[in-house]
Structure 1
């Protein structure tokens, strides 16, 4: 699971019936440098399935790959990225402390 920021939304003209009723968000994943405020740590944008109602600028927990479809088991959904949680606060602790 990764942390990312919503930077936009995606509109589909057609979708598989199993994924209708939710929205698609454009997400930039963060690495540790980005979490500390360095824009160089922002990854390549990707599209994620969102049933939680994340808005522009929201920070989310992003599940990818097979784990993205796991919450819907046994129903199968053709997903590669899923908004697993809306994050209000992120606290980073230095391991040296």
Structure 2
């Protein structure tokens, strides 16, 4: 059984190496369409009089970044540039919306 496992490991290793060579050495990996922004922070959130929700996003990155706020059950915000240190409020247009995430765009 040890021989079988070793042969399987060598075959998989060979297949991965052949795939990398066949693609010009470029690794084939799946990447998300948008990447999360690790240096942005949700600083506050609430609802206008019990209605539409809002969130405040703080850019703690060293420079300007472009972000989009994603909402569950509501339209996502447009792509917006935040300067370093800037805090901006994003509003949803739906009473039923809830904050999902902030992503780069």
Work out whether the TM-score is over 0.5: no
TM-score with structure 1 setting the length: 0.30
